[in-house]
Structure 1
Amino acid sequence: MSQEQDPRTGLTVVHRRYVPYAHAHYAGDLVDGAYCLGLFGDVATELCIRTDGDEGLFASYSDVQFLGPVRAGDVLEVTGTVVRVGRRSREIDFAVRVVCRGRPDVRESAAEVLPDPLVVTTARGTVVVPGPA
């Protein structure tokens, strides 16, 4: 007997966030990788609310990849897509893309929209939600 795909599979949530200069921790206005993991938590919370009417709890990350720098002044697009639905668990693929970046080489407040967003962090995470009542 073939198993039907759960209609929650494929649901995607997108958040956008400006990275304030107060979050820079390193030379070159770099932001630590934990910043993106926190954004994944925000996206996962919305996904759990949409799929199950509950904020859920993050259980684990797997295959976290830091692929490029995140800098203060960036505008980030954070996506999460449900890829597997278990009885109480939901597996989510995450990505952070830089869609705008500061251009201090032009002037202090200059910035540009990137023609091709830069994928800077990816991960897979598992969240758990309460079981059926």
Structure 2
Amino acid sequence: MTAVVGLSVTHRRYVSYSHAHYGGGLVEGAYSLGLFGDAATELSIRADGDEGLFAGYEVVEFLAPLRAGDVVEATATITRVGARSRGVKFEARVVCRAAPEVGSSAARVCDPPLVITRASGTVVVPAAG
């Protein structure tokens, strides 16, 4: 396995109503960061054969709200490959959103997807050998 710039993984998940934390069915921003951690773990396994350790974020931008009833996807992409560190960029997008004004179980596809969170960070993997 060899880490390469541009390698990417995407996870997709339905956000259940039990995750609503604020009025209006809003979900806390940390939910996106949890998705980023899961995507970074798979990315590290695919790139280096190891789950790696997330060292930290350089930038996190919350751009739009995440709501209960959304279907959200998180993508992690390697942007830099060092001896043991990997630069990773993240993006979370809402691809479907509940439409309670239409009906209690109504929803619509977001076309284009709504970008809700962007971030960049560093993952560290064990030394080869």
With the length of structure 1 as denominator, give the TM-score of the two structures: 0.94
Gaps of 5+ in 2: none
Larger Rg: 1
- Alignment match of 1:114 (pick from 103, 106, 110): 110
Q: 1:7 deviation in Å?
A: 6.0
Query: Does the alignment pair 1:99 with 2:98?
Result: no
Q: Is the 8 A contact 2:76 2:88 kept in 1?
A: yes
Gaps of 5+ in 1: 1-5
Report the number of matched residues.
128
Query: Does the alignment pair 1:83 with 2:84?
Result: no
2:26 alignment counterpart: 30
Whole-Å Cα distance in 1 between the matches of residues 111 and 79 of structure 2? 28
Poorly superposed stretches of 4+, deviation over 6 Å: none
The AA in structure 2 aligned to 1:66 is: F
**What is the RMSD computed on CA atoms of the aligned residues?**
1.0
The AA in structure 2 aligned to 1:34 is: A
Counting strand residues as a fraction of each chain, which structure ranks higher?
Answer: 2
Query: Does the alignment pair 1:127 with 2:123?
Result: yes
With the length of structure 2 as denominator, give the TM-score of the two structures: 0.96
Deviations 1:60-99 (A, max 9, x none): 0011000000001000111011000000000100000000
2:48 alignment counterpart: 52
Identity %: 63
Whole-Å Cα distance in 1 between the matches of residues 57 and 13 of structure 2? 21
